[in-house]
Amino acid sequence: MSWLIVVAALLAGACLVLVHLLRRQEWQDSRRRFEEVLAAKDDAGWLASAMHEEDGEQGAQALRRASRLQAVELDLRRAGWNTPLARRGYFLAATLAPVAGLLTGGTWAMASGAGIDQVAAGAFFGFGCGYLLPPRLLGWQVQRRRKSMQEEMLAVLHLLRMLFDAGLSLEHALRIISEQGRELAPNMAAELGIALARINAGQERTEALEEMASPLGVPELDDTVAILKQATRYGGSLRDSLSRFTLLMEDRRMTSLREYVSKLSAKMTVVMVVFMFPALMLFLAGPGFLALIRALTRVQ
C-alpha cells in the first residue's frame, strides 16, 4: 500500500512539472509569435511565410495555442475575473485541479481496498474531472454574469433617463451610475468604472464605451452603446432615443417572461402528472378498491 502511495505522489509531481513546463513554453511561443506579427509589415505575408517554413507545423500549433489562450482570456473578461490576481488564480487552479483529481481518485480507490486496475481507473477519472471542472465553472460564471447584466440594463437605462432629465451630461451620468449604482447594478457599475478610467486616461468616449461593451457579448449593452455613439456623433435627442429603446427592452422582457411562463406551465403539468395524479387516484379510487377487496374476501 505504501509503495502505491509513493508511486502516485511521484506521478502527480511529474504531471505537475510537465504541465508547468508546457504552460511556460506556451506563453513563450505565443509571445514570440505575436512579437513577430507586430514586427512584420504585412501580417498576411508573415502568415504565408510562417506556414512554408520548416517549422510550419510548430508555428500552426503555437497559433492554435495562442487562440485558445485568447479565448480563455476573453471568457475571464466576460466572467469579471479580469484582475491579474484572478487570472493567476484561475490558471493555477486549472493547472493543479487535474493533479488534485488524480491524487483524490487514486487515494479513494486505494482506501477502499481496490485492485491496481481500479486504482488506475479512479486516478484517471479524477484527472479527467479535474481537467474539465475549471472550464465548466468559468463557462457557468460567464453565462451567469451575462444574464445578470442583461437584467441590469433596464435599470441602467431608467437611471440614464432620470439623470438626463436632471440636466447632467453623459459622462457625469455614467460616473454617478458607476459610483452610486453598485447596489442596483453591480456588474454594470464595475464595467462603467473601467470605461470611465479609460476616458480619464485620455481615450475618446465612444471608443472607450465600445471597448468596454464588445468583449462582453451583451446585446442590450451593444445597442445602448450604439445609440450613445450615434447621438454623440450625429446629434439628436439622446433622451428620446433611450426612451424608445427602453420601451423596446420592456417589450422584449415581457415576451421572454411569457415564454418562460408557458414553458413553466408545461413543466408543472409534468410534475402534477408524476406526483399529484397518483395521490389523487388513491384519494378518489382508494375507497372503491378497498370496498371491492372486502366484498371479494366475504364471497370467498
Query: Any idea where the domains of the chain sit in the sequence?
Result: 2-145, 148-252
- Report the top-level CATH class of 148-252: mainly alpha
Report pLDDT for 143.
Answer: 92
List, for residues 76-88, the tens digit of each pLDDT value: 888 888 888 888 8
Report pLDDT for 26.
Answer: 57
List, for residues 127-158, the tens digit of each pLDDT value: 888 888 988 999 999 999 999 998 888 888 88
Mean pLDDT of 250-261: 86
Nearest to 212 by CA among 156, 140, 139, 135: 156
What is the per-residue DSSP string for the chain? -HHHHHHHHHHHHHHHHHHHHHHHHHHHHHHHHHHHHHH-S-HHHHHHHHHTSTTHHHHHHHHHHHHHHHHHHHHHHHHT--SHHHHHHHHHHHHHHHHHHHHHHHHHHHHTT--HHHHHHHHHHHHHHHHHHHHHHHHHHHHHHHHHHHHHHHHHHHHHHHHHHTT--HHHHHHHHHHH-TTT-HHHHHHHHHHHHHHHTT--HHHHHHHHHTTTT-HHHHHHHHHHHHHHHH---HHHHHHHHHHHHHHHHHHHHHHHHHHHHHHHHHHIIIIIHHHHHHHHHHHHHHHHHHHHHHH-
Query: Which band of pLDDT confidence, cut at 50, 70 and 90, is reported for residue 5?
Result: low
Report pLDDT for 141.
Answer: 92
Mean pLDDT of 153-164: 87
Count the neighbouring beta carbons within 10 Å of the beta carbon of residue 7: 12
List, for residues 267-286, the tens digit of each pLDDT value: 888 888 888 878 888 888 77
Query: Which band of pLDDT confidence, cut at 50, 70 and 90, is reported for residue 54?
Result: very low
Instruction: Quote the percentage of the chain above a pLDDT of 70.
Output: 76
Whether pTM exceeds 0.75 = no
What does residue 235 show for φ and ψ, rounded to 5 degrees?
80, -175
CA dist., res. 205 & res. 198, Å (int): 8
Q: Is the predicted pLDDT of residue 124 greater than 70, yes or no?
A: yes
Query: Which band of pLDDT confidence, cut at 50, 70 and 90, is reported for residue 36?
Result: low
